Amino acid sequence: MMRFTFFMIVIGLLVAPNAKAASSNVPLEDARVDLGDKASLYRGAQTFMDSCASCHGAKMMRFGRIGEDLGLTEEQLAKLMPTELSKPGDVIETNMPADYAQQVFGIQPPDLTLTARAQGADWIYTYLISFYEDPDALWGVNNAVFSDVGMPHVLAAEQGLKQPIYEENGDAKQLVGLESPERPGSMSEEAFEEKMRDLTAFMVYMAEPAALKRHQYGPYVLAFLFIFTLIMYLLKREYWRDIKH
């Protein structure tokens, strides 16, 4: 029975990522997240506070932890905090009252602290760059990764609204791709994608801040293991030198 349970757990772990990826026909783009690039993480944090925190919170992340991990100055950290009264010990909370969110969206927008753990960096990045114009949708936009998404495209001014490419499938039409916006946004496509990579990187860091420390300690651990292995090998040769086989 224990073997069967273990087997089912392993199968679940193998199938779950594939099921998540299969939720959309859109191939996921490579987010190319680099947790060692602290400048990128800081830019992502700024984008998160400017564009995401008005609706979404991240209640498991404190400003002080961000400042410590990214090596920010007091001035840089102050730029992330929403008000002059905010303190490093405060967590990232949404600026939107719960009753107003319920009235506008019908539900309170989800906390984003662990989204990267649940969905993965490539999914988040592809989602962020895959909004497109859809006059039939509630907010006039849809998303190629998350169909019938219940939020507006808050970065439309920077990206513009991509245009959908449909393929007729009987009486229905299927989204097969996206093309450039008819009205370009304030940023070039390359600049916007880089900004979304920064935001994705920050969300990956936020979902598991300890990963940043592991990346820093990794080379030292590998160096220790190499030296330890070499010493053990030399000791083994010394101990077995006088032993006759």
The residue ranges of the chain whose pLDDT is under 50 are 1-23
CA atoms of 143 and 130, how far apart (whole Å): 6
Question: Model confidence over 160-202: pLDDT tens digits?
Answer: 999 999 988 877 888 999 999 999 999 999 999 999 999 999 9
Q: What is the pLDDT of residue 24?
A: 53
Q: What is the pLDDT of residue 229?
A: 93
DSSP 3-state of 178: strand
For residue 123, being part of any structural domain is answered with: yes
For residue 45, being part of any structural domain is answered with: yes
Q: Which residue has tokens 């801040």?
A: 209
CA-CA-CA-CA torsion sign (11, 16, 17, 19): positive
Please report, to the nearest 10 degrees, the dihedral formed by the alpha carbons of residues 141, 156, 205, 35 taken in order.
120
For residue 32, being part of any structural domain is answered with: yes
For residue 198, being part of any structural domain is answered with: yes
For residue 139, being part of any structural domain is answered with: no
How many other CB atoms are found less than 10 A from the CB of residue 165?
A: 12
Q: What is the pLDDT of residue 7?
A: 34
In the 8-state DSSP scheme, what is residue 50?
A: I
Return the CATH number at 48.
1.10.760.10
Q: Which amino acid is at 236?
A: K
Q: What is the pLDDT of residue 213?
A: 77
Structural Rg of the chain based on CA atoms: 24
Q: Which residue has tokens 């961000």?
A: 66
CA atoms of 194 and 191, how far apart (whole Å): 5
How many residues make up the chain in this entry? 245
Domain span holding position 218: 24-127+189-236
Q: What is the pLDDT of residue 25?
A: 67
> Model-level pTM?
0.80
Q: How many domains does the chain have?
A: 1
CB 45 within 8 A of CB 80: yes
For residue 98, being part of any structural domain is answered with: yes
For residue 82, being part of any structural domain is answered with: yes
For residue 135, being part of any structural domain is answered with: no
